[in-house]
Structure 1
């Protein structure tokens, strides 16, 4: 079934005057950053509860720790103790949930479980910082549009000044859209979900993407196929830390390769006609990726000759994404650590 024939979304119950909300941050051994983020999330939850237009009643901040050693527990307990007596902070936490099963999918699904009795679930990553009004803006947008999901922009905070090549790649650019615009997809790094819609569609993060990434793309694709609408809240702004180790040509190319691979896989799996292999789609995306790789590879070469690092970065990143598309179309998977798994016909 194509997205052009998307059925109507399950109609959620009328919006109540007061809703319960969970803000979930998934983390893995970033305790220093987490210690800075959590007080901000407590303040965001307090502000949302105080905002009449948002209409948030019960609010909780939940940390899902994917560290098998439970390293974030002490950080969470310290922040909770420090905020226990703050006005309006009752019940907010933060609360701790340990998810030892490795992989981002397990952590995100644990967040869904922690929000089992909530109407709204908001995801944020542990490498982000909030701006004033972020959470309230997400909830207000949900109330305005009555949609299944809301996302907002994320702006990069570079640890060190990136090269012209890295900036030119566009990988760290914030998404831009008109406030209230319908979005084709959204990352879980800044995302509000209506859990009534999620439950009606029986949606969870796909465990097959636990080590490769792309689990959020798969979820959003499935949400849209179920008729869910994703809206953009321009004022729901986050800042994303970019360590110097990420702002490199090698890291960007690996990320683009992986993103291209999962982009193709998600579309093949969600658009296949049930024939099993989805071979027509595989051939189509492999051909499309090959054409794009050739085009952007040539443009990158021109940028190199002209010593135009901005153009070179843009087209080399696009070329890597196109190569990833070919890999994804023929069954290759790129894991977060840059390793490519064996293709299906070469596995023993």
Structure 2
């Protein structure tokens, strides 16, 4: 990377400590595969002499039954805590609290594995630019034999940007946080979105809205090995619906007045409807021309538009509802808070 580290080293003078936070929920095999690689990366970071003198791996188990305890017990240097409040937002907030007084916290999901060059580029980018957050890439890998329909839709395609590019929102699958800046900005993960997804998008948008910067690091890569039960038409279409719905939920969260929320709802209703209609037309075009790409992308637009439309009326999709929870998968919120 062609980055000048001098300014970052001055801003981050003194010894630095870094915590890698892994959030897990009933994925013991994935966690067992990822932990050794994460630990190896923290050792490499210490050897790189970038100013980080202490590292720690923290596992936050969101299962009240502590189902990850046996896996983590095989790694003496890993710290393990249980966050019994359901939802990934509660687990992320627990990681924020447990990471103190470290300067840096890096999130990685339990179903991801770090690439050969993962942690060092994140820290290098932070040293060079000293933002509130640095987001790295997540590269998805579909299982062999995945339905061509799913592949054609690009449901698992992730973006790439030049390192150093400033972005206004980020996902938390591969994300470094400057905990001092996050604390000064007063940002936490919204537990209202804990089972619906999008808590990381809202968090990061609040960071930039309050004056923090988020920088992209293209050299940092984690690998997401998609489960076979997710590489399906049904799951992909559900995810498109969820993304549309979550986008509107977040926009409503940023609306400060009743009039602004009304404008967001109106735009979402008409925008979602228009997206769905145009998507249906594109799908028909794909059928007529025999283009799988247009057929799937059209169907994806219909689903996303539907999620936006119902989001205009306060319906929030609960994508990560727990098996032991109520069977209903949607909730309706009023005009307060995220409503």
- The residue aligned with 1:33 is 30
Tell me which stretches of 4 or more aligned residues in structure 1 moved more than 3 Å.
337-340, 342-345
Q: Distance in 2 between matches of 1:282 and 1:328?
A: 8
Distance verdict in 2 for CA 1:168–1:184, change over 3 Å: farther
- What is the CA-CA distance between 1:78 and the residue it aligns to? 0.4
- TM-score, with structure 1 as normaliser: 0.88
Residue 268 of structure 1: aligned partner: 252
Counterpart mapping for 1:186-225 below 5 A: 186-225=170-209
| Runs of 5+ consecutive residues of structure 1 not aligned to the other structure | 1-12, 81-92
Deviates more, 1:31-40 or 1:178-187: 178-187
8 Å CA contact 2:18–2:54 kept in 1: the answer is: yes
Query: Quick check: 317-326 or 330-339, which moved more?
Result: 330-339
Checking the alignment, whether the CA contact within 8 Å between 1:185 and 1:230 is kept in structure 2 is yes
The question of 1:46 aligning with 2:49 is answered no
Residue 154 of structure 1 is matched in structure 2 by: 138
Q: Which moved more, 1:308-317 or 1:31-40?
A: 308-317
Which secondary structure state, in structure 1, belongs to the residue aligned with residue 75 of structure 2? helix
1:280 aligns with 2:263: yes
Q: Is the 8 A contact 2:185 2:212 kept in 1?
A: no
Partner of 2:78: 94
2:58 maps to 1:62: yes
Match of residue 68 from structure 2: 72
In 2, Cα distance between the equivalents of 1:17 and 1:304?
A: 62
Q: In structure 1, what is the Cα distance between the partners aligned to 2:57 and 2:82? A: 14
Question: Does structure 1 residue 234 correspond to structure 2 residue 205?
Answer: no
Of 116, 126, 150, 2:110 maps to 126
What is the aligned residue count? Answer: 319
Shift in alpha-carbon separation, 1:58–1:276, aligned structure 2, 3 A: farther
1:114 aligns with 2:110: no
- Cα drift, residue 157 of structure 1: 1.9
Deviations 1:263-297 (A, max 9, x none): 11101211x13237711121112211211111112
> In the alignment, is the contact (CA less than 8 A) between 1:48 and 1:55 conserved in 2?
no
Query: CA 1:312 to 1:226, structure 2 compared with 1: closer, same or farther past 3 Å?
Result: same
Match of 1:301 among 284, 298, 317: 284
Cα distance, 1:314 vs structure 2: 2.0
Are residues 243 and 58 of structure 1, via their aligned partners in 2, closer, same or farther at CA, if it must alter by over 3 Å?
same
Structure 2 unaligned residues grouped into runs of 5+: 1-9, 322-327, 335-339
CA distance in 1, matches of 2:332, 2:81: 36
The answer to whether residue 275 in structure 2 is matched with residue 292 in structure 1 is yes
1:259 correspondence with 2:256: no
Pairwise CA RMSD: 1.7
Q: Is the 8 A contact 1:332 1:340 kept in 2?
A: no
Deviation at residue 30 of structure 1 after TM alignment: 0.7
Query: Given the alignment of the two structures, is residue 321 of structure 1 paired with residue 304 of structure 2, yes or no?
Result: yes
SS at the partner of 1:262? helix
TM-score by length of 2: 0.90
Asked if the contact 2:131–2:212 (Cα under 8 Å) also holds between the matched residues in 1, the reply is yes
- Relative contact order: is structure 1 or structure 2 higher (C-alpha 8 Å, sep ≥ 6)? 1
Partner SS, residue 74 of structure 2: helix
In structure 1, how many angstroms separate the alpha carbons of the residues matched to 2:147 and 2:65? 36
String of CA shifts for 1:53-80, please: whole Å, max 9, x gaps. Answer: x321111000001111101111111022
